[in-house]
Amino acid sequence: MIDPRKHKKPASIKEVARLAGVSVSTVSHVINNTRFVSDPTRRRVLESIDQLHYRPNIMAQGIRGRKSRTIGLIVSNLNGSFFYRLVNAVCSFMHSQDYDVLVCNSEESTENEKRHIDTLLRKGIDGLIYAPVDRRSNYEELSSWQVPFVQIERKNEHYLSDYIDIDNVGEARRITSFLIDRGCRRIGFIRYGTENYTGRRHEGYKQICTSQGVYDPGLVRNVPRDVDVANRMIRDWLLESLTIDGIICTNANICYSVLRIFDEIGNEKFKRLMLFSFEENRWLSLLKFPVFALDQPIEAIGDTASRILLQRMAGEVRPPRDYFLPCGISEPGLV
């Protein structure tokens, strides 16, 4: 008889069977519900599992062809509300379908991203929702393991997969037109480097500004993700560009930096400037300075990605599709 109080190593299915006084196959049938087992026997097996803190080997189940009922979710950066809300949406949806979610944050690092992909695949996930760091990396594991996956928020062109996002070019065109229609002619544009999604947003911004004869490359600023360096660059730029009458921030973190600098320099110098954030955030409604924001359907992106992944995991075969979900605009006082 095994004393669970002295049991230090993870329990095996054989030890559960020995404690319950049944065969290994009976324990397997109870765990997987693959054959009728009498109630008294089932109770003994479940009590033994509890006493030994036994957990089935998910990887072994995957090798034997069983589903782990687990998916992976890799996001590129949890420092902000977008992915925080998206993770919650995916987890809520998948939990409602009796799936667990293993969440990984690549922190904008391709090395971290590769490690997460390798780890999740070896853990036997049934599917993957994936926000790539960039569009240049190509991980053979994603193809060789043949695990269904969908891409969100950013798209790596190396992979043929479903992709769920907003229309970054179209929304940038709409935002820029929105500001021009309200009298802006010198519209600044601030983004992180030349990343995929910010590049598309810049493309839409440039299209409209060029068509209206107001495009000035000097009003575009590429800043690094290092907050202190980015803040200094934005501050210097604002002091040099006091003639700007509008700014488009490609995410809420950049918008936050701009607002802090406004406060340092003095809001009076920017009281007629129109500020538009590509991401809506609850704290915008608390500001005295008016900020327009794109209300992205983050929860809908998470739900759509989860639903499509489940369809792929169920064996649906069709050409991959891009899904672009519509956005709203939150105006000051209406956020």
> pTM to 2 decimals?
0.75
Does the domain at residues 70-166+298-327 carry the CATH identifier 3.90.550.10?
no
CATH T-level assignment (fold) for domain 4-56: 434 Repressor (Amino-terminal Domain) (1.10.260)
Per-domain boundaries in the chain: 4-56, 70-166+298-327, 168-295
Residue 217 identity: P
The average confidence (pLDDT) of the chain is 85
Instruction: Give the number of other Cβ atoms within 10 Å of residue 37's Cβ.
Output: 17
Q: What is the CA radius of gyration of the chain?
A: 26
* pLDDT exceeds 60 at position 133: yes
Residues 79, 102: Cα–Cα separation, whole Å: 18
DSSP letter string, 165-205 = E--HHHHHHHHHHHHHHTT--SEEEEEETT-HHHHHHHHHH
Does the domain at residues 168-295 carry the CATH identifier 3.40.50.2300?
yes
Q: List, in sequence order, the alpha helices (H) in the chain.
A: 13-20, 24-32, 39-52, 58-63, 81-96, 110-122, 140-144, 168-181, 196-211, 227-240, 252-265, 298-313
Q: What angle do CA 294, 285, 300 make, to 5 degrees?
A: 40
- Across the range 232-257, mean pLDDT stands at 88
Q: Which pLDDT score, from 0 to 100, does residue 3 have?
A: 35
Which tops the pLDDT comparison, 2 or 274?
274
Model confidence pLDDT, tens digit, residues 216-241: 999 999 999 888 999 999 999 888 87
Q: In Å, how far are 20, 64, 115, 129, 233 from 61, measured between CA atoms?
A: 22, 5, 22, 21, 53
Which tops the pLDDT comparison, 195 or 142?
142
Intrachain domains 70-166+298-327 and 168-295 with the same fold: yes
Q: Which pLDDT score, from 0 to 100, does residue 11 have?
A: 77
Q: Which pLDDT score, from 0 to 100, does residue 7 have?
A: 36
**What is the per-residue burial (b if ≥16 Cβ within 10 Å, else e) of 41-69?**
bbebbeebbebbebeeebeebbeeeeebe
* pLDDT exceeds 80 at position 183: yes
3-state secondary structure of 140: helix
- Across the range 93-107, mean pLDDT stands at 95
Beta-strand relationship, 328-330 and 291-295: antiparallel
Q: Which pLDDT score, from 0 to 100, does residue 194 have?
A: 59
